[in-house]
Amino acid sequence: MNLKINQKQIEKLIQLVNWIKTEIRYTQAEIYDIVNDLLSNNNFKSLSFLNDVKNNMNSMPFPTAWETAITNWNSSILKEDEELLSSMANILGASDSTGQISALDHIEKRFETSYEFAKNLCETKGKLCKSLGILMGLAVLVIFI
């Protein structure tokens, strides 16, 4: 798994949840319109599952469309984060605004925890790789000398 990409994708997912919360809170737009607006937002271009969600909605109910799209998404996120993202299928549009936003707040917090974990892992492993790289270089130098 590419740690850097994982971190970036989780960051995008946090922005996604935040954006959806804003849409539900202020525009009360339908889910279909929210998905369309997400697709037209360049900020979420890397979340390719959104295209599948829109296409799937033509032939299946939204919860199934969302879950299927997540399952087929070729992402770098951890399985727990994928399940968290998938669980949004049963939140979005399933209740009034307050209920959805409250549930999405919880999901956003969990993504933020994942993001911090991914960031620390990236930094730790990054430093480790850097150190290993320097050592390898020195070893080669010593061998040649």
Partner 1 sequence: MDVKFSEILQKLPDKINHILLKTPIDVQKNAREIRLRAGRKICVIYGNKLHNVNKILNSDEIQECFKSICGYSVHAHLHEIIQGFITMSGGHRAGLTGTAIYDANNKLINLRAISSINLRISRQILGVAQELIGMLGGELGKLLIVGAPASGKTTLLTDIIKHLECRLVSVVDSRGEIASCLNGTPQHNVGNADVFDCWNKEDAIVSAIKTMSPEFIVCDEIGNEADIKAVEACVGAGVELIATAHAGNFQDMVKRNVIKKILKTGAFENIAILKGKFEPCKVESIVKVSDLFAGAGHNDFGDLSRDYGNIALCEFKNQSKAN
Please give the residue ranges that form the binding site for partner 1 (CB under 8 A). Answer: 24, 28-32, 61-63, 92-97, 100
Q: In the bound complex, what is the minimum distance in angstroms from residue 84's beta carbon to partner 1?
A: 20
Please identify, using beta-carbon distances, which residue of 43 and 95 lies nearer to partner 1.
95
Amino acid sitting at position 90: N
Q: In the bound complex, what is the minimum distance in angstroms from residue 68's beta carbon to partner 1?
A: 14
Number of other residues whose CB lies within 10 A of the CB of residue 66: 28
Rounded distance between C-alpha atoms, residue 7 and residue 135, angstroms: 27
Please identify, using beta-carbon distances, which residue of 75 and 100 lies nearer to partner 1.
100
Amino acid sitting at position 75: S
Please identify, using beta-carbon distances, which residue of 97 and 124 lies nearer to partner 1.
97
Rounded distance between C-alpha atoms, residue 110 and residue 99, angstroms: 17
Phi/psi region, residue 28 (left: phi>0; alpha: psi -120 to 50; beta: rest), is left
Please identify, using beta-carbon distances, which residue of 68 and 100 lies nearer to partner 1.
100
Number of other residues whose CB lies within 10 A of the CB of residue 102: 13
Q: In the bound complex, what is the minimum distance in angstroms from residue 98's beta carbon to partner 1?
A: 9
Q: In the bound complex, what is the minimum distance in angstroms from residue 5's beta carbon to partner 1?
A: 31
